[in-house]
Amino acid sequence: MVTIHPSAGNTLTLRVSLERVPGTLGRLTSALGAAGALVDAIDILEHHGDVIVRQIQVETSSEEHGLDVVAAVRRVDGVELLSVTDRVFDRHRGGKIEVTPRFPVLTRDDGGQWRISLQLGEHKYTAVAGEPLQISTRTGQSAVQDWLRFPVGGIDWDDAQTYVRWLDDSGRVSGARLCSEVEWERAARGADGRKFPTGDVVAADDANFDETHARDFAAMGPDVVGSHPASASPFGLHDTMGNVWEWVIAGDGAGAGAGPVARGGAFFFDKLTGSPMNRNVLDPGFRDGTLGLRVCVTPRFPT
């Protein structure tokens, strides 16, 4: 029998919606205990008619154990898992980690060229259009980046909606829109509902998450879209795990709760947070250098 040793270093924050009937919370805590998680705190966040939204902090022993705990929560009757975050994400969202310097800032110089400024740790990098971005704290192919092919980051919900409307209205991408999370998750996990786009396991080089650059703040940052083909989804989508979070519309995109949700994780977060099974409900005004979008299209055919 394997002994599990939960620790504060592997704390997860679970945001869950529970049916407001006797026994629901008891079933949830029993499932957490049976999965080997140590419950640290349970708080009530909201009341919505027949449901209660709670935030639960639990300690796990590892990222793999965390995945098992999340799976156990999903199996509890009367409980809907709304989001999972780790300690790094919670500190990051709370403003205790500086966000602004870590994402590219684009400007035009006097000659009308696009210029990028990027700070990773204490290292600052700049380049103009036509020049590669050379990152001294990295080795191999990721040290030289065609930064014009970075994913967009640092946008809030309104930015994302405005962009896809512009794509559609301008005719550049007719029918462009934000994806619903139902279609996003199907595209990321495939017909077999795998844990990661790669299958049941994901290696450090398969996607751009915290392990990819050895959790080194001086090296963790965006990669060119498609730099990690091993994590292409069963339907051929790149970066549905890691690189930057993606704004999508909750549910099927048409219901009453069709608001903003972020999916897919990012370069600064672990593989549990980046699993396509995970979702994070964010404030529409939340803006972060690790947060971008994915564009879907509804084809329009001549009538």
Which among 53, 52, 71, 99 has a CA at the least distance from the CA of 12? Answer: 71
Contact by Cβ (8 Å): 208, 239: yes
pLDDT, residue 92, reads: 45
Q: Give me the CATH number covering residue 293.
A: 3.90.1580.10
Mean pLDDT across the stretch 44-59?
Answer: 86
pLDDT, residue 232, reads: 95
64 against 229, higher pLDDT: 229
pTM over 0.75: no
**Is 302 within a domain?**
no
How far is Cα 123 from Cα 101, in angstroms, rounded to an integer?
10
Same domain, 19 and 65: yes
How far is Cα 21 from Cα 193, in angstroms, rounded to an integer?
30
How far is Cα 1 from Cα 9, in angstroms, rounded to an integer?
23
**Is 105 within a domain?**
yes
Structural domain for 142, as ranges: 100-148
pLDDT, residue 263, reads: 94
Q: Give me the CATH number covering residue 46.
A: 3.30.70.260
Q: Which residue has the tokens 């036509």?
A: 130
Same domain, 123 and 162: no
**Is 219 within a domain?**
yes
**Is 124 within a domain?**
yes
User: Token pair for residue 207?
Assistant: 């996607």
Amino acid (one-letter) located at 192: D
**Is 20 within a domain?**
yes
If one counts the domains in the chain, the total is 3
Same domain, 174 and 88: no
pLDDT, residue 5, reads: 80
Q: 139-197: per-residue pLDDT in tens?
A: 888 999 999 899 988 889 999 999 999 999 988 999 999 999 999 999 999 999 999 99
Q: Residues in the chain, how many? A: 303
